[in-house]
Structure 1
Amino acid sequence: MSTTPIRASATVIGTCGRWVQGLGAYLGLASALMVLIALFSLLSSHFLSYATFSILANQMPDLMVLAVGMTFVLIIGGIDLSVGSVLALAGSMISVAILGWGWGVLPAALLGVACAALVGTATGMITVAWRMPSFIVSLGVLEVARGLAYQMTDSRTAYIGDAFTWLSEPLAFGVAPSFVIALLVIVVAQLVLVRTVFGRYLIAIGTNEEAVRLAGINPRPYKVLVFSLMGLFAGVAALFQISRLEAADPNAGSGLELQVIAAVVIGGTSLMGGRGSVISTFFGVLIISVLAAGLAQLGVSEPSKRIITGAVIVIAVVLDTYRSQRTRRRN
């Protein structure tokens, strides 16, 4: 008796199961987002408005692209704490190129993004070459990048002007080009993760790196590439910030890494590696952004906002640990 129909049926059932599980995760995140929006709409008469959501959409792009990079980093079992400082370094490099060297806008932008990508590559190479925890390496890079940003700008904000403002000027429906670009990055990154060999390798590396190595695949170049992409996205985020502020601030991105990690973990990407979704990360960004905007409109003090945001992060980590333990028991 042929087993082909049985195998085909098992494949279909498995695919449908994964699809339903993924849809359930999206619905859960969407429900949490709707609850937040409903809550803040009840507590603040100004929250549920066109102006609020237009401002939200145009302030999120830097967090969105950084969260995409962090999703990939966490999927391979790493972490990058330097993204905020690398963002500031890229912005400082752009300001020096334009104001100090007289470069044009495009060459300066490319230089800033390339500088950020180079820093990310260095983080990945050190992590991989010496088998060091990326937590420690990126913590050191955080300090180095921030120090370089201070040196480049003499610890002062460099006002660049309106060279990049077209990125943040609202177009149709009050949405800026930066938001559209960030959305495209999310769509492409999700397709790369679920539809390409590269994406499958990343998930396999995060799940069991030794098994990947025994299968004849060298995981080291893929891990370095992921950190390079993280740096590149930090450079792009720097452009988005400069377009809004019309300036490069050496203090930019301070503490931003915590928001990025929070958004990714809330989206369901595992801190242990091997599991993640860019679309879910986008929901995490929306939840973090709506939470921050709602608390600001309610006039919640900065210390209280930090307490609430920190509590959300802890809850997300606890839920991630619970999911991981339940998955291990099921397997």
Structure 2
Amino acid sequence: MKQTQLRQSILQYGGLVAVLIALVAVFSVMSKNFFQMTTLVSIANQIPDLTFLAVGMTLVLVVGGIDLSVGSLLALSSAVLGVLMANQEWPLLAALPIAMLVAGGCGLINGFISVGFGIPSFIVTLGMLEIARGATKVVTDSQSVYIGSRIEWFGQPITSILLSPAFFVAVATVIAGQFVLMRTVFGRYCVAIGTNAEAVRMSGIRAAPYSIAVFGISGLMCGLAGLAQSSRLSTADPNAAIGIELAAIAACVIGGTSLMGGRGSVISSFIGVLIIQVLQTGLAQIGVSDANKQMITGGVIVAAVLLDALRTRWGRAKV
């Protein structure tokens, strides 16, 4: 059994790493500036916000839900952080918990309404997307809030190692997320709920608290993503992260997380984030227009979803 699981893990991770290496090789041939330390370091320092979102999204997808509000919650948490630090002169250590609690609370509301009232999470989180985006504009008065050096250090590369503190926190979050999903009772229950929620209930386990909790965790990850993006831009922008929820979902699906629930890996989602960022950076370097970049990225997402559907159908056929 362990050998089978090990073989499956090698095939899963090995295939994703092979795709990542192939993309790097292709863009290195097409652009002489791609395979350079500055480009690779830039990619690493640009991924923390999407990585945080992908960690939370993986857990939500595993239980069979989806969260379309993550981009707006990122912007809302960033706005709260910016207003507290820039306008109220709060220190980061005091402002960050408030920003994360706001995003986490919105996530819990998503989970409570979706699970408690049996409403599809797609609809609930779509509504929260609009609510949070509007709240962001109210908080900031629709103006960008400049925070400056008090937050820049988190997103700026450390001179000696060229990587930012945000990158290391994001990697640590991926490791912690993978451990929770694969090595804890909470994670195993989440997988079981996504696989067969009725069987979980028949076993005497209350599925609702776990399903609600993952939406709360997704909200907290939006708070960290808001910190990462604000530190990189030095600003809280009310229009930030529009559409990033699609990239987060795409990263998870590319990594093998099922849209039907019951299967997922945080590490695989992280590799999916790297694939998306390498794709976007490479396309930009070879001069592909924004319109064509959107078309190509959309094609990759559709291909990943199609692969997930075929993989699910093939799995059912084997059973």
- TM bucket (normalised to shorter chain) is over 0.9
Q: For each residue in 1:85-142, what CA deviation from the matched residue of structure 2 results, as whole angstroms up to 9, or x when unmatched?
A: 0000001111222233332222111111111101101111111111100000000000
Aligned counterpart, 2:22 = 35
SS in structure 2 opposite 1:173?
coil
The CA distance in 1 between the partners of 2:100 and 2:49, in whole Å, is 13
Tell me by how many angstroms 1:169 deviates.
Answer: 2.1
The CA distance in 1 between the partners of 2:37 and 2:206, in whole Å, is 50
1:229-308 to 2 correspondence within 5 Å?
229-308=217-296
1:1-331 to 2 correspondence within 5 Å?
14-171=1-158, 172-331=160-319
The CA distance in 2 between the partners of 1:189 and 1:98, in whole Å, is 29
Q: Look at both structures and tell me which one has the larger radius of gyration over its CA atoms.
A: 1
Residue ranges of structure 1 left out of the alignment (5+ in a row) = 1-13
Q: Say how many residue pairs are matched.
A: 318
Q: For each residue in 1:190-246, what CA deviation from the matched residue of structure 2 results, as whole angstroms up to 9, or x when unmatched?
A: 111111111110000000000000000000000111000000000000000111111
Q: For each residue in 1:125-161, what CA deviation from the matched residue of structure 2 results, as whole angstroms up to 9, or x when unmatched?
A: 1111111000000000000000000111111111111
Identity level (%):
50
User: Which amino acid is 2:221 matched to?
Assistant: F
User: Which amino acid is 1:287 matched to?
Assistant: I
User: Which amino acid is 2:100 matched to?
Assistant: V
The CA distance in 1 between the partners of 2:85 and 2:22, in whole Å, is 45
**Runs of 4+ that moved beyond 3 A:** none
Higher mean alpha-carbon deviation, 150-159 vs 91-100, is at 91-100
The CA distance in 1 between the partners of 2:135 and 2:179, in whole Å, is 35
Scaled by the length of structure 2, what TM-score is found? 0.98
- The CA RMSD measured in Å over matched residues stands at 0.8
SS in structure 2 opposite 1:174?
coil
SS in structure 1 opposite 2:161?
helix
Q: Sort the Cα spacing of 1:215 and 1:142 in 2 relative to 1 into closer, same or farther, 3 A.
A: same
The CA distance in 2 between the partners of 1:52 and 1:96, in whole Å, is 33
